[in-house]
Amino acid sequence: MKIVSVRSHVLQCDMPEVLGYSQQYYSKRSAHLVEIVTDEGLIGWGECFGPGNIALANKGIVEGVIAPMILGMDPLDRDVIWHKVYNLMRDHGQKGMPMQSLSGVDIALWDLAGKIAGLPVHKLIGGAHRTSVTAYGYGMMLRPESTADMAARFVDEAAAIKDMGFAATKMKIGQGPQDDVILAEAVRRGVGDDFPFMADANHAYMTADAFYVGRALEELGAYWFEEPVAPEDLDGYRELRAGLKVNISGGEAEFNRWGWRQILENRGLDIAQPEVCALGGITEYLRVLALAHAHFTPVANHVWGSAISVATNLQLLAAMPPMPGGLFPWEPMLEFDTTENRFRDELLKEPLDIQGQVARTGRVAIPQGPGIGVEPDPDVIAKYEV
């Protein structure tokens, strides 16, 4: 069997309202899918992390750089393909967009492998440690409005996410230390005293301000403080972890096993958050997961993207070993963006219906079909493709 085609599909649509995080506001939703076709007509699907113009740049890397390297190769030679592509791009990008592009290609190859074997990806990895997972509802995005208005909105939004049946919720911060405390207090009011909530700063702070916000999050009983400082500031992560009681999480902006080795050896994370659609795909994710567990660091996958990303992560969460082993191990949760996302809700021929599952049972079932277990609708791709 040979690879005969590698194509990118960049999808984009207007959002119903402007949303943001600590770095920017955005008004369009994007997704970047990778389609790999074999000479026997089988198709594998993957996804590359990266919004807007980054997705368009990654499309050029996938089709103009990676595709010529792998056309004619056996799609089952995933590790051979991974190292060939990485080694030939190493001088030009050990991190960032080249790795995001390789991620989408690698996920598509795993999807193909599952379809060839007639098995879901979690079976190819080694089996399912769980057949369903809990999920936390991601919401409370920043808006271009006053802190007081946002705080009032956050109270209601946090309460609504709790009422949907999610096991926890996560908010955005990054407005400035004092404003962020006001917003975090609003979320705590919305969910009540005992419901877990997390705060994501998207590396908005220097260490001193991160300590200020982190101490407030401690008082509010937050479960984790995500990306408090820049991903390059490994010393800052270590200082925050040593000086705060709230869990410090991060890693979505790190790539491959070599980058993750530095983070984990630095001992700056309580919870690791690898992004499979960015760090190098499933092939490299499995190495990063093994590194994290070798450093006794639990993993909560970062999930942001289309239904392809969600399905891929469900396969990985199924196959994640319990840590530590025993009757009551630390269990991963699925990250679920509760804001409107057409490329998650409309993309598939058979939707995952995450919110419906959570409302009915409080859990999300692992797809059991071959590969990543889902198939996109070509009409939806044609409708939104840039």
Compute the Cα dihedral for 263, 264, 265, 270 and give only its sign. Answer: positive
Reply yes or no on whether 295 is catalytic: no
Say which amino acid occupies 351.
P
Per-residue pLDDT, 43: 98
3-state secondary structure 288-299: HHHHHHHCCCCE
**Angle, CA of 347, 337 and 289, to the nearest 5°:** 95
Locate 331 and state its tokens. 């269990």
For residue range 243-282, what is the model confidence (pLDDT) as tens digits? Answer: 999 999 999 999 999 999 999 999 999 999 999 999 999 9
3-state secondary structure 316-353: HHHHCCCECCCCCCECCEEEEECCCCHHHHCCECCCCC
Q: Which residues of the chain have pLDDT under 50?
A: none
Per-residue pLDDT, 325: 81
CA distances from 243 to 55, 175, 179, 198, 310 (A): 38, 23, 22, 18, 34
How many angstroms separate the CA atoms of 231 and 250, rounded? 8
Catalytic-labelled residue, pool 9, 32, 203, 302? 302
Strand duo 43-48 + 24-38: pairing: antiparallel
Environment class of residue 189 by beta-carbon count within 10 Å: exposed (0-12), middle (13-18) or buried (19+)? middle
| Chain centroid offset of residue 298 CA | 15
350-354, long-range: CB within 8 Å, 24+ apart, which pairs? Answer: 350/374, 350/375, 351/307, 352/307, 352/310, 352/311, 352/314, 354/135, 354/310
Q: What is the pTM of this model?
A: 0.97
Say which amino acid occupies 139.
G
User: Which residues, 6 or more positions from 36, have their beta carbon under 8 angstroms from its beta carbon?
Assistant: 3, 5, 6, 7, 43, 44, 45, 46, 75, 105, 108, 109, 112
How many angstroms separate the CA atoms of 99 and 90, rounded? 10
Residue 163 near residue 139, CB atoms below 8 Å: no
How many angstroms separate the CA atoms of 221 and 177, rounded? 17
CA distances from 349 to 13, 75, 221 (A): 19, 24, 41
How many angstroms separate the CA atoms of 309 and 48, rounded? 9
Per-residue pLDDT, 107: 99
Comparing CA positions, the residue from 97, 96, 103, 101 lying closest to residue 78 is 103
For residue range 361-371, what is the model confidence (pLDDT) as tens digits? Answer: 999 999 999 99
Q: How many residues does this entry show for the chain?
A: 386
How many angstroms separate the CA atoms of 157 and 174, rounded? 18
